[in-house]
Each structure stands twice: as C-alpha cells, then as structure tokens.
C-alpha cells in the first residue's frame, strides 16, 4: 500500500458513554488527505462528541485513533494540536472580552523578552487572513464582532497552529448565505492546499455542494456512506433519520384576521449605541406568517428585542392585541399578550444551562397555575409537563433531570422551541427557530408553525435562511440598514427579487 492510501485520520471502534447515554458506539471513520468529508446525523447522533474525542477534549471509553496510520494517545487538546488537528467548535470558544489577537495566540503565544509579542502575532494573522481570504482585524474585541467574523477568527485560530486536519462543527448554522459562500471558497482553497476537512452540517444542500464523501451517524453508530455525485437531499435525509422526510412544507392559503402585532415607526440603537432601527412599521395579523428576511446585522435582532421587551425603543410604538406594549417588560409582553419568543441566541436568552430540562421547560410559565399555587411550586405538574413535551418534540435527553447544557446543540434548540410553542398563544415570534436542527425535526417544527397559524396565531418569523422564509411565510418583509425596504406577498416573491431587496436595491418591478 502506498502512503497515498493511508488515511490522515482514522477512528477504529470508538465508543463513548456518558452517564445515561451512549453517545458513540463502535464508530469507524476515515479521512483522506485533501478531501472534505461531510458528517451527517440527527441531533444527538454523537457528531460533536466524536469530534471532541478526535480533538483530545474527551477520552473515548473504547477504541483507538490513528493519525497518518499510527495509533495515537491524546490526553488533551494540546496533543491533538501537536498532531496538526484543529477544530472550530459548534459553540465558539472565544473569550468575549479579549482581542482577536489574544484569542488566536492563546495557548500558542509568541513571547519576546518574557512579554507577549502581540505585534508579531498580528502580523502573522494579517498574513493568514490575506492568504486565505479571511478578513479580520487583529485588534478588534471579540464581543464587538458579528458571528461571521467570530467564525473567521476561529478558522484563523486553527491555521495559526498549522493544522492540517480541520474539524468544522456546524460552521454554517449561524452564517448568512453570503458568508456561507465565502466559507466554502475558503474550504476549497484549504483542500487544494492539501488540508483535510471534516465538515458537519444539517443543511443537505451544502453537503451535496462541497463534500467529497459523506458519512452518516445515527444514534451513535455509523450507518452508512454516500457519494455526493449520486445522492439527493431526499436520500440523505432518509439515511439520517431512518424514514422518508418531506422536505417541502404543505400548507393551505392563509386566512388572515385582525391585526395582532402592530409596529409603528420604531427606532432603537444597537449595543454600540449606533442606530439599528430607523422607523420600522409593519403589522402581523392573526392567522398569517410574516417572514422577515435580510442579511444578518440589518436590524432584525434589534427588532425582535424591542418587540419582546429586551431592548429599549427610542421612538415609535408597539401594539399587541390593541394594547400599547412599547417598552413594557418582557413578562408583561409574554403574559398579557400571550406571545412567545424563540430567541436567536439560545445560550444567552433561551435557556439556563445548569438547570434540568424539566425546569428549562417551564421558564416562561413557572409562576402560573398549574405550575405554581401562591408561593408553592408544583414539581409534579412541572415533571409531567416536561415528560410530555420531551416526547412530543423528540428532545433526545437521558432524562428530564439532565442539565439543559449537556444536551446536544440541536436538542437544546428543540427544548427551547418546545417550551415556547406549548402555550396557548396569539402571537408567536420566532427568531432562527430551526438553527442547528436536523431535517427530521425541522419538518416537525415547520408543521407546528403552520398549525399555529391555522389556529389563528399571528406569526413573526425571522430567519437568515431564505429557504425557510420562502417555505413558511405568507408575506415577506425585507430589512435593510434598519428599515423595512419592502413587504412582498409570498405569491409574488422570487428569490431574485428578494435578493435584490436584501442588497438594498429597490426594483420598481418588485411590488412593495
């Protein structure tokens, strides 16, 4: 066998057990030099766990890992880094208060006369960012950067350590379509330079677009391989979930009733104090879904925050069910108006990681009957509610007492969605509701949203996935630079027309 055929990375019989769960069971995976291997699998299938094992962060219960044909023992990530393995984690691992340069050099600092040589690091970062077309400013503070830029920082972080094997765990979940194109260009460039990439995603279209080979995990086991040349989205979905998945949403025409959410001339500023909303007006009627499309960072996040009471409005009005709710508290808004909110950042606003799943599932209702009577909390009611929801929404968790933070990323999201959808509502605000969720569960959540609509709920949907917006919305509002640049009925909307609006071009032929 020539060296050409020896895989750069191979796992043999990897098994990983956590208390109550087998996350990986006898997983065999090979990665060859200069290829992009896509790893597919449902939420909780064990993809991140496997990657964390390859990166030396977790120790396998059984099995071995071979790098370039030799078995290796990795006790911590420094061993993996030394072997040329780099990983971009599903939840970014960056220190928010530090600069880009500090984050990149952390653990591999360059030191001159005992002091950090930040200038040398910055020069190296500029060089890497030029070579790979990854635009970043070494002196920016992480918490000021949008997610797309944070991800570029993570990639440069692995390149800075001369990684030859790159693990990208759901890198596209938080990116805009434009950023995803950019990422794919970078991945192709890296591949052509002889680097090998493991790429995890739930978006089947992307897999078919960039992968050279596809491996599928289900419930911790490898269930098969697929060739991107011959596979289709439907065949991949079936392989992942183990049943046919309907990838398109079936829905009847909308039957809009009275206005539930009315927003008038809303203005607000972002965290840096710059104007983020400049006079936004629209309304959402009972029984319709209004989708908000737009390149991320054009005020969608701030819009949701103002409407849900998380951000202060400088001017304008928010009315819900005819009641004035401008700058009301989040609780007043969720309860008086029976509205709910699936937040964009699940860790910051959607859940309390150390709390058990059962308690996470009543964060919005714990103070109401039947979960509380006076100052008493009814644990029995909370537990039976949780058991019910976990089943209904297929949240994969060992038990309802497991801390929310130890679920897989997609299952955390499903937990948040389950909580928010399970109340009697008349307004549903969902920001990126299917971020990081597998195709099978997306199907379920989309059907839930449509069912809510058919029951007369007003739905405001914010998503950076144009496909999701197009599939669900009855009307589509496009945001650009803090304004709604156009509102288009779904029947008249085309991808091209929306694309132009998202770029700020107001075409006369597109009805507004």
Q: Which residues bind ligand ATP (CB under 6 A)?
A: 18, 21, 23, 41, 43-49, 90, 396, 406-411
129 or 412, CB closer to ligand ATP? 412
Helix/strand/coil for 493: coil
Shortest-Cβ-distance residue relative to ligand ATP:
410
Helix/strand/coil for 422: coil
Stretch that binds Mg ion, among 402-410, 414-422, 443-451, 489-497 (CB under 5 A): 402-410
Stretch that binds Mg ion, among 47-55, 60-68, 73-81, 122-130 (CB under 5 A): 47-55
Stretch that binds other proteins, among 64-72, 78-86, 224-232, 441-449 (CB under 8 A): 78-86
From the list 26, 30, 34, 57, which residue makes contact with other proteins (rule: CB under 8 A)? 57
- For Mg ion, what does the binding mask look like between residues 420 and 449, x meaning CB under 5 A? ------------------------------
| First and final C-alpha spacing in the chain | 64
Q: Is 34 exposed, middle or buried (0-12, 13-18, 19+ CB in 10 A)?
A: middle
Helix/strand/coil for 186: helix
Residue 436 DSSP code: T
From the list 47, 89, 152, 446, which residue makes contact with other proteins (rule: CB under 8 A)? 89
328 has which bridge partners? none
Would you count residue 108 as binding other proteins (CB under 8 A)?
A: yes
Helix/strand/coil for 316: strand
From the list 86, 138, 409, 433, which residue makes contact with Mg ion (rule: CB under 5 A)? 409
85 or 382, CB closer to other proteins? 85
354 or 511, CB closer to ligand ATP? 354
Would you count residue 287 as binding Mg ion (CB under 5 A)?
A: no
**Closest CB 220 distance from Mg ion, rounded Å:** 13
Residue 297 DSSP code: T
Residues 90 to 109 in contact with Mg ion, rule: CB under 5 A:
90
Please report the sign of the dihedral spanned by the C-alpha atoms of residue 334, residue 288, residue 349, residue 503.
negative
Strands 85-88 and 376-377: unpaired
- Cis check for the bond before 370: say yes or no (omega within 30 of 0): yes
* 337 vs 324: CA distance, rounded Å: 10
Q: Which does 78 bind (CB under 5 to 8 A by kind): ligand ATP, other proteins, Mg ion, none?
A: other proteins
The answer to whether the beta carbons of residues 180 and 124 sit under 8 Å apart is: no
Cα dist from 444 to 202, 249, 392, 488, 504, whole Å: 15, 10, 10, 26, 33
17 or 278, CB closer to ligand ATP? 17
Residue 99 DSSP code: B
Would you count residue 78 as binding other proteins (CB under 8 A)?
A: yes
Kindly provide the b/e burial profile for residues 354-380, where b requires at least 16 CB atoms within 10 angstroms of the residue's own CB: eebbbbbbbbbbeeeeebbeeeeebee
The answer to whether the beta carbons of residues 206 and 172 sit under 8 Å apart is: yes
Residue 28 DSSP code: E
The count of other CB atoms within 10 Å of the CB of residue 14 is 25
46 or 291, CB closer to ligand ATP? 46
102 or 283, CB closer to other proteins? 102
From the list 94, 240, 357, 418, which residue makes contact with other proteins (rule: CB under 8 A)? 94
From the list 11, 48, 334, 413, which residue makes contact with other proteins (rule: CB under 8 A)? 48
- For other proteins, what does the binding mask look like between residues 368 and 407, x meaning CB under 8 A? -----------------------------------x-xxx
Which of these, 107, 205, 200, lies nearest to 160 by C-alpha position?
107
Would you say how long the chain is, in residues?
Answer: 512
Kindly provide the b/e burial profile for residues 206-224, where b requires at least 16 CB atoms within 10 angstroms of the residue's own CB: bbbebbbbbbbbbbbbbbe
SS (H, E, C) 356-368: EHHHHCCCCCCCC
Residues 305 to 334 in contact with other proteins, rule: CB under 8 A:
none
23 or 493, CB closer to Mg ion? 23
**Closest CB 171 distance from Mg ion, rounded Å:** 12
Stretch that binds Mg ion, among 9-17, 79-87, 221-229, 406-414 (CB under 5 A): 406-414
From the list 64, 69, 76, 451, which residue makes contact with other proteins (rule: CB under 8 A)? 76
Would you count residue 107 as binding other proteins (CB under 8 A)?
A: yes
Residue 489 belongs to what H/E stretch? Answer: strand 483-489
Would you count residue 20 as binding other proteins (CB under 8 A)?
A: no
Q: Which does 46 bind (CB under 5 to 8 A by kind): other proteins, ligand ATP, Mg ion, none?
A: ligand ATP
24 or 48, CB closer to Mg ion? 48
The count of other CB atoms within 10 Å of the CB of residue 257 is 12
110 or 329, CB closer to other proteins? 110
75 or 230, CB closer to other proteins? 75
Please name the residues in contact with 149: beta carbons below 8 A apart, sequence gap of 6 or more. Answer: 135, 136, 140
Chain center to CA of 122: 29
Would you count residue 353 as binding other proteins (CB under 8 A)?
A: yes
Residues that bind Mg ion (CB under 5 A): 48, 90, 409
Question: Which spans of this chain sit near other proteins (rule: CB under 8 A)?
Answer: 18, 48-49, 55, 57-58, 76-79, 81, 87, 89, 91, 93-98, 102-103, 105-109, 111, 114-116, 143, 157, 273, 347, 353, 403, 405-409
């Amino acid at each position: 066998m020539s060296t050409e055929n020896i895989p750069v990375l191979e796992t043999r019989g990897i098994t990983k057990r956590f208390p109550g769960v087998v996350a990986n069971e006898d997983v065999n995976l090979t990665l060859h030099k200069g290829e992009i291997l896509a790893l597919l699998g449902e939420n909780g299938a064990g993809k991140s766990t496997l990657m964390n094992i390859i990166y030396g962060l977790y120790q396998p219960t059984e099995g071995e890992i071979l790098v370039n044909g030799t078995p290796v023992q990795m006790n911590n990530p420094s061993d993996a880094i030394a072997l040329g393995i780099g990983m971009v984690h599903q939840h970014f691992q960056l220190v928010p208060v530090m600069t880009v340069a500090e984050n990149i050099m952390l653990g591999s600092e360059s030191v001159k006369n005992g002091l950090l040589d930040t200038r040398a690091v910055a020069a190296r970062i500029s060089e890497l960012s030029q070579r790979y077309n990854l635009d970043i400013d070494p002196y920016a503070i992480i918490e000021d950067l949008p997610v797309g830029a944070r991800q570029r920082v993570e990639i440069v972080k692995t390149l800075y350590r001369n990684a030859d094997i790159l693990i990208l765990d759901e890198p596209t979940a938080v990116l805009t379509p434009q950023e995803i194109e950019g990422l794919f260009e970078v991945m192709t460039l890296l591949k052509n330079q002889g680097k090998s990439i493991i790429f995890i995603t739930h978006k089947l279209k992307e897999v078919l677009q960039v992968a050279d080979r596809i491996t599928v995990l289900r419930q911790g086991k490898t269930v098969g391989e697929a060739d991107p040349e011959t596979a289709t989205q439907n065949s991949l979905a079936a392989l992942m979930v183990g049943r046919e998945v309907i990838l398109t949403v079936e829905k009847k025409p909308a039957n809009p009733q009275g206005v539930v959410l009315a927003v008038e001339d809303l203005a607000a500023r972002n965290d840096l104090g710059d104007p983020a909303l400049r006079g936004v007006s629209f309304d959402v009627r009972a029984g319709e879904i209004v989708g908000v499309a737009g390149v991320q960072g054009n005020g969608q996040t701030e819009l949701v925050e103002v409407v849900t009471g998380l951000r202060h409005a400088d001017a304008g009005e928010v009315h819900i069910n005819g009641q004035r709710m401008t700058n009301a508290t989040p609780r007043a808004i969720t309860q008086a108006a029976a509205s709910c909110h699936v937040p964009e950042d699940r860790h910051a606003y959607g859940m309390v990681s150390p709390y058990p799943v059962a308690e996470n599932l009543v964060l919005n209702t714990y103070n109401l009957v039947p979960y509380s009577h006076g100052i008493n909390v009814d644990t029995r009611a909370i537990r039976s509610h949780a058991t019910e929801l976990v089943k209904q929404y297929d949240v994969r968790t060992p038990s309802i007492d497991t801390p929310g933070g130890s679920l897989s990323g997609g299952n955390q999201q499903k937990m948040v969605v389950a909580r928010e959808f399970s109340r009697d509502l008349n307004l549903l605000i969902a920001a990126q509701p299917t971020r990081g969720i597998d195709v099978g569960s997306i199907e379920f959540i989309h059907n839930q949203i449509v069912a809510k609509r058919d029951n007369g709920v007003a739905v405001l949907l914010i998503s950076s996935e144009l496909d999701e917006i197009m599939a669900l919305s009855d009307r589509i509002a496009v945001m650009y630079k803090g304004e709604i640049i156009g509102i288009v009925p779904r029947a008249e909307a085309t991808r091209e027309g929306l694309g132009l609006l998202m770029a700020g071009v107001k075409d006369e032929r597109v009805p507004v």
